[in-house]
Amino acid sequence: MKRIVILALVLAAAGLPATGCGSTGRTTLAVESAPDAPAASTPAADHNGKDVMFAQMMIPHHRQAVEMAKLAEGRAVSDQVKELAGKIEAAQEPEIRTMSGWLTAWGAQVPGERGMPMDHDMPGMMSGQAMEELKGLKGAAFDRAFLTMMIQHHEGAVAMAGQEQAEGVHEPARRMAADIVAGQSAEIATMRRLLR
């Protein structure tokens, strides 16, 4: 009797049924109770559609902000505007790379340099005409247009990030969204002061 009990314990430890082929109950139980099922740790298990949308929309949104910021170097007259533009570029380029990595890991489309079809629906995005007008300005006129446009741009990003905080589940994306809300809200306040 002891041998049967020991054999049953050895087989159970190995995940094999202790009875004949006709009994599948224990095998099923062993699989169901196995800790750390692989599906729980896959990239697909830690995000939802809102996370994908956040990254796909924020990448082209950030790219436009970086494009605007780069214009300031040769066109702005205010050192404060140039400094702010440098901060925007330094903060948003790494975020673009991070979000692109998420999308790749999730098997989702990474927006190309020309963006995606929904770009025009994004809050705060500048039209092509507005961007061309900004490129044609220099000095104080550039500074004023840049600040006015970037406030609108940042307000759009804050709104999108707030939606991710409310509906996304990917913790790194939610943390980035919180950083965007905090950082860009502070920059909006700075830009409003500079416009006075």
CATH of the domain at 88: 1.20.1260.10
Range of the domain at 77: 46-195
Whether residue 71 sits in one domain with residue 138 = yes
Tell me the per-residue pLDDT of 18-57, one tens digit each, with 9 for 90 and over. 444 333 333 332 322 333 333 333 444 699 999 999 999 9
Average pLDDT, the chain: 81
> Does some domain include residue 108?
yes
> Does some domain include residue 171?
yes
Tokens of 194: 């500079």
SS3 123: coil
Provide the number of structural domains found in the chain.
2
SS3 content of the chain, % helix, strand, coil (to 5): 75, 0, 20
Whether residue 57 sits in one domain with residue 103 = yes
Whether residue 107 sits in one domain with residue 77 = yes
Is the pTM for the entire model greater than 0.85? Answer: no
pLDDT at 122: 86
pLDDT at 92: 97
Whether residue 113 sits in one domain with residue 153 = yes
Helix axes 171-195 and 49-75, enclosed angle (nearest 10): 30
pLDDT at 10: 36
> Does some domain include residue 41?
no
Residue type, 43: P
Whether residue 61 sits in one domain with residue 22 = no
> Does some domain include residue 40?
no
Whether residue 54 sits in one domain with residue 13 = no
Spans in the chain with pLDDT lower than 50: 1-44
Whether residue 54 sits in one domain with residue 27 = no
